[in-house]
Amino acid sequence: MGKIKGIRHKHGEGFSIDFYAYNSHIRHWNATFKVSFSVLILILCIALENPYVSVVVIITMAYLTIIKGALSVNEYLSILAIPIVFILLGTFTIAIDFSKHPMGQYNLYLGFCYVFTSQTKLKVVVFLILKVFAAISALQMMTLSTPSSEIIYVLRAAHVPKLIVELMNLIYRYIFILMDVYTKMKNSAESRLGYCDFKTSCYTFGSIASNMLVISLKKANTYYDAMEARCYDGDLIFLEEDKKVETIQIISAAAFIIFLILLWGFTR
């Protein structure tokens, strides 16, 4: 895991997406613009169902994330590796079929049955992979350049119910606190041989889990006191920053979308 200047990385791989978002060079772009752009591209990818469109989207999103956002290629690929594995596993079963007799354009005898596939089927699968991959890279562009808190602001602006938005805010903040608490408890258990064998490990894990619940409740109480002390009266309101959308960004986004639709029109 490479270190990135500025912010120190404390947590495991699971949190790196949030971490990359804070370091992205296109973070200062207007969050609403980024979210709506990537969602629009996502919808276009699915609705147009065109391999050329998918390829263009994959390349553009990689360009935005890697060149504009200054994320290293290795890290981008390692983040995409997880969905790629799932896509390959999922589409593999679509591509193949089983039969007692040799059939299809390509088949493989396994001893008791044949695995077969055909060119058309393979084509369908490749197109499907491209489509899903394009959709995912559009969303990755958003998550790798927009911190969760800003995505939550966008949801609030989109009139998602207040309860959900407030919960998202609190949960987001809380995940990190619970992670810290858990790490501390785990380390202290470890130092007292709490994980010496399997049985003890299970017991320790259970104790930590129940202890976490108690601590969460306690923390919730102190949190509430701290919020009340600062005039909290039922509405959780945070300062939202206005980031200007530059005209050039809107124009390029619009041009890109028109280009995709034209591409679809010509290659249909």
Query: Does residue 43 bind another protein (CB under 8 A)?
Result: no
Contact status, residue 61 vs residue 141, Cβ threshold 8 Å: yes
Strand partners of residue 117 = 106
Q: Nearest approach, Cβ of 168 to another protein (angstroms)?
A: 10
One of 105, 106, 119, 180 touching another protein (CB under 8 A): 180
- Choice between 11 and 121, CB closer to another protein: 11
Three-state DSSP class for 112?
A: coil
Q: Nearest approach, Cβ of 217 to another protein (angstroms)?
A: 13
One of 17, 219, 249, 263 touching another protein (CB under 8 A): 219
One of 92, 103, 202, 228 touching another protein (CB under 8 A): 228
CA distance 36 to 41: 9
Q: Nearest approach, Cβ of 175 to another protein (angstroms)?
A: 9
Three-state DSSP class for 99?
A: strand
**Alpha-helical regions (H) of the chain:** 16-23, 31-48, 51-63, 73-95, 119-143, 148-157, 162-191, 198-229, 247-267
DSSP per-residue letters across 157-187: HTT--HHHHHHHHHHHHHHHHHHHHHHHHHH
Contact status, residue 107 vs residue 113, Cβ threshold 8 Å: no
The stretch among 17-25, 83-91, 132-140, 244-252 that binds another protein (CB under 8 A) is 17-25
The DSSP H or E segment spanning 64 is: none
One of 146, 147, 154, 189 touching another protein (CB under 8 A): 147
Contact status, residue 204 vs residue 195, Cβ threshold 8 Å: yes
Q: Nearest approach, Cβ of 4 to another protein (angstroms)?
A: 11
Left, alpha or beta for 111 (phi > 0: left; psi -120 to 50: alpha)? left
Query: Does residue 69 bind another protein (CB under 8 A)?
Result: no
One of 86, 106, 109, 176 touching another protein (CB under 8 A): 176
One of 14, 163, 213, 233 touching another protein (CB under 8 A): 233
CA distance 189 to 243: 46
Query: Does residue 241 bind another protein (CB under 8 A)?
Result: yes
Query: Does residue 163 bind another protein (CB under 8 A)?
Result: no
Q: Nearest approach, Cβ of 19 to another protein (angstroms)?
A: 8
State in Å, rounded, how far the first CA of the chain is from the last one: 43
Query: Does residue 162 bind another protein (CB under 8 A)?
Result: no
- Choice between 92 and 176, CB closer to another protein: 176
One of 213, 217, 229, 248 touching another protein (CB under 8 A): 229
Contact status, residue 140 vs residue 65, Cβ threshold 8 Å: yes
* Residues contributing to the site for another protein (CB under 8 A): 7-8, 10, 18-19, 22, 147-149, 152, 169-170, 172-173, 176-177, 180, 219, 222-223, 225-233, 237-241
